Amino acid sequence: MSARTDIVAALQRDGYKEREATSLLDRAYREPQADAPDPDFRETLGGGHALIVEYGDCELIGSCQCGRRFGRTTPDASLDTFVQPWERHCMTEVAG
């Protein structure tokens, strides 16, 4: 058995359906990671709350490293669309 198989099986024992468990594991694998967590700088990869901007199907998708979504915009628009909600998230929603 692989570690992946073990993790999916453990998630299924906790009530996830196989498809949900696989999707969750895939999402965790794709998330950016830092080598050394840094709780003093939460807005960084090490702090767990870096701003992530993805390109998908002719649009930009903004989110926090923790999974909080900030919406979508076009590639020619300003990234400020994501910056203000991300800053608000880091300052008010993330435990300091």
Domain boundaries, the chain: 1-30, 35-96
Residue 22 has what pLDDT?
86
Q: What is the pTM of this model?
A: 0.61
Could you tell me the pLDDT band of residue 96, with boundaries at 50, 70 and 90?
low
Other C-beta atoms lying within 10 Å of the C-beta of residue 64: 21
Q: Are 49 and 40 in contact (CB under 8 A)?
A: no
Please compute the mean of the pLDDT values over residues 69-80 and round it to a whole number.
Answer: 92
Residue 74 has what pLDDT?
94
Other C-beta atoms lying within 10 Å of the C-beta of residue 36: 6
CA-nearest of 27, 21, 17 to 7 is: 21
